[in-house]
Amino acid sequence: MGSVRLGLIGANIARSQSPRLHVEAGRLCGVEVRYERLVPRDLGLDFGAVFDRCLDEGFRGVNVTYPYKEEVVARVKLSDPPTARIGACNTVLFGNGGPLGHNTDHSGFISAFEASFGKTAPGKVALVGAGGVGKAIAFALVRLGAGELRIFDTDPGKAHRLAAMLSEAGAAPRVIRATSTEEAVEHADGLVNCTPIGMSGHSGSSMERRHMVGASWAFDAVYTPVDTDFLRSAADAGLAIMTGWELFFYQGLDAFRHFTGAEVDPLSLRRVLRANDEKKLHA
């Protein structure tokens, strides 16, 4: 594969590092990657029109991020049972068989968690945010052996639907639909933010530091910025933390594999991306 054209469809993606990850991964594998940011509102189009344009214009595939990870499902064939159960996808491969949807948030979180925390089970987990990424991470936590999931969303319907999906799948020993953040975090071992709160343009934290007492680890799906208020508070409270950058990195590895069929060396790609970050800091 000599060259590929890829894109990212989402809102508030000006600072996304996905273009750099895929371009650098391609360089390491001898593949020329052209990667475009596509914001439907800026283009004066809705999501479906942007998606169809990518399909018509010869894109190899697209990544899909907030707030379109669930909307895109109606337009793709889902690649495997986990993705079908989750009902959200973030990676779409175009081809003769029609658009094929993958959920590399799910697979990427499993890899990131094991790389960060080893084979330690997640324990009882409070998950705040039951949208597209929340669904993927909930099912990933089950795969990792979480003993209990407590789900809270400001939209009670979303939390209810995710709890029902997990229960119907027989996916976890216990699933609780919490009615507040306080209820979700009580006696929790792990704290997970899957809301956009904390990302550029959405300042703040989904949990206060007082909610974090007694927990052992925390993860924030937000990675722009990496050092969120949520993770700073968690670190100050003595929790082990996993940043959203780790999920970004591992889901990106999986997405690149789907797009190109190539296996990029993770250590080499990590070194390149981190080196570029250091250059920016000292520029």
Which residues are marked as active site?
A: 68
Neighbours of 283 (CB within 10 A): 5
Distance, CA of 266 to CA of 87 (rounded, Å): 28
DSSP H or E run through 54: helix 47-56
Distance, CA of 158 to CA of 154 (rounded, Å): 8
> 3-state SS string over 14-38?
CCCCHHHHHHHHHHHHCCEEEEEEE
Task: Assess contact for 239 and 215: CB atoms under 8 A.
Answer: yes
Q: Work out whether strand 175-177 and strand 190-193 pair parallel, antiparallel, or are unpaired.
A: unpaired
State the residue for tokens 């550029």.
200
Q: What is the largest CA-CA distance in the chain?
A: 53
Q: How far apart are the first and last CA of the chain?
A: 35
Return the ∠ at Cα 183 (arms to 241 and 215), rounded to 5°: 25
Q: Which of 5, 26, 47 is nearest to 268 (CA)?
A: 26
The tokens describing 252, both together, are 């990106």
Q: Which of 248, 259, 271 is nearest to 28 (CA)?
A: 271
Identity (one letter) of the amino acid at 167? S
